[in-house]
Amino acid sequence: MAADAHDSPPRRRDAQDNRERLVAAAREVFAESGFEVPLDAIARRAGVGRATLYRNFPDRYALGSAIFEHNLAALEALARAHARDPAAFTALLSAIIEQQIASHALVPALLSGPTAPDLHALRSRMIRLLAGPLRRAQAAGAIRPDLVSADVLAVIAMISAAVLHAPSVAARRRRAARALQLMLDGLVPRT
């Protein structure tokens, strides 16, 4: 899972560059055209041949994992930064949505059934990452006590759905904010 740099003979610099370019291109293209975009487009955007893409990532989900991995590291850092903050949970939720707006890869990766092998590990990390903040938010009375991990994944999927078909990034942000507001407050008026 973290055996990158020490046991295999070091890769050529250009090869490593291409790999990074591919991940960056994938993030962009997924954001523009959704997760089901043809892989051709990603290779073209990265300025490499198809073969290079397939050599680095056997399929679409491997690419998704790479992006997901990257995002997850950022979220874990954020969680550590808010280690004692009862508002960490909602901050993480916002960050996750923002990532979804930027890449469109996270949620399909999160939800896809048993399609993906290592993807399951990433999903577990995501759940583990949220467990602490969720518990703290519940203890502080900020989040309903009956909310469980599966609910949180569902909530993420739900807000993503509200965002999906928006025409622009700005529109996506607006809709995400509204959806999060409705989700937190509920449709039934308070007091």
Which residues sit at the interface with DNA, rule CB under 7 A? 9-15, 18, 38-40, 47-52, 54-55, 59-60
Q: Cα separation of 47 and 73, whole Å?
A: 27
- Which one of its own copies, DNA, none interacts with residue 12, CB within 5 to 8 A by kind? DNA
Provide the minimum distance between the beta carbon of 137 and DNA in the complex, in angstroms, as a whole number: 40
Provide the minimum distance between the beta carbon of 108 and DNA in the complex, in angstroms, as a whole number: 14
- Which one of DNA, its own copies, none interacts with residue 160, CB within 5 to 8 A by kind? its own copies
Number of H helices, E strands in the chain: 9, 0
- Which one of DNA, its own copies, none interacts with residue 49, CB within 5 to 8 A by kind? DNA
Nearer to DNA by Cβ, of 9 and 186: the residue is 9
Q: Between the CA of residue 126 and those of 47, 150, 157, what are the distances in Å? A: 32, 11, 13
- Which one of its own copies, DNA, none interacts with residue 159, CB within 5 to 8 A by kind? its own copies
Q: Is 112 helix (H, G, I), strand (E, B) or coil?
A: coil
Q: Between the CA of residue 78 and those of 31, 118, 154, 182, what are the distances in Å? A: 22, 23, 21, 24
Take residue 109 and report the two structure tokens written for it. 């990766």
Provide the minimum distance between the beta carbon of 18 and its own copies in the complex, in angstroms, as a whole number: 32
